[in-house]
Structure 1
Amino acid sequence: MQAVVNNPKITVIRPQGSLNAANALEFERDLTTALAQNRSSCLVVDLEQVEALDCAGLLALVSALKLAQSLGRRFSLCSVSPSIRIIFELTQLDRVFEIFEGTALF
């Protein structure tokens, strides 16, 4: 479902397809594992290849953000397509998440 790229300071997770009720728990586990096991200071979720996002996928991202904050780590999203970005805007979560236009962060 996704690729994980590690560098000493940044971990990048690249989910593909849909983040929905069918796979949100697995996605959340992957995010939690990346935050718990890695000592990198930043976790970036690259949403470039995500085609759809429902409330379960959104909840997985919010849960990971809360965990990252509790661990004192940075949590960011990048490469969010316009169709996915509108979900963040409608829920006003675009004000909560750090969102980058491309992959310039890494």
Structure 2
Amino acid sequence: MQAVLKCPKIAIIRPHGNLNAANALEFERDLTTALTQEAVSILLVDLAGVESLDSAGLMALVSALKLAQNLGCSLRLCSASPAIKIIFELTQLDSVFEFEGKAELAVVST
């Protein structure tokens, strides 16, 4: 019997600063573009550089998660600071999204 190894194609997006109504549409476009690239099976969103997140930023992530699920892909969040993580907890989206530690470790463990 042969062993079959699957190596998923991973894309990483590293937003920085504020994810809010001023840039949420552009952020959502970037996420959509990354997800629809040929053979991408995992999209990691590295939140290490994100200082604040409002409802528009959250909706961009939710829309991207829905698209990923429809495409059979995985969208994972990583390197979220405690301040950003609490936003997901307060909105109960922490149970919807997959969270990883650091992006580099998430890639290695995939």
* Distance in 2 between residues matched to 1:101 and 1:88, nearest whole Å: 15
CA shift digits 1:34-89 (9 cap, x unpaired): 11124221000000000000000000000000000000001100000000000000
2:49 matched to which residue of 1? 49
Q: Structure 1 residues 24, 75: closer, same or farther in 2, change over 3 A? A: same
Q: Give unmatched runs, 5+ long, in structure 1.
A: 1-7
1:16 matched to which residue of 2? 16
How many residue pairs get aligned? The number is 100
- Give TM-score scaled by structure 2 length: 0.87
Q: What amino acid is the match of 1:75?
A: L
Q: What amino acid is the match of 1:23?
A: N
2:82 matched to which residue of 1? 82
Q: What amino acid is the match of 2:27?
A: F
C-alpha RMSD over aligned residues? 1.3
Q: Structure 1 residues 27, 79: closer, same or farther in 2, change over 3 A? A: same
Percent sequence identity over matched residues? 68
1:66-105 equivalences under 5 Å are: 66-103=66-103, 104-105=105-106
Say if 2:10 and 2:41, in contact at 8 Å, map to a contact too.
Answer: yes
Q: What amino acid is the match of 2:106?
A: L
Give the number of the structure whose alpha-carbon radius of gyration is greater. 2
1:27-46 equivalences under 5 Å are: 27-46=27-46
- Structure (1/2) with the larger helix percentage: 2
- Give TM-score scaled by structure 1 length: 0.90
* Distance in 2 between residues matched to 1:31 and 1:15, nearest whole Å: 10
Helix, strand or coil at the partner of 1:77? strand
Q: What amino acid is the match of 1:105?
A: A
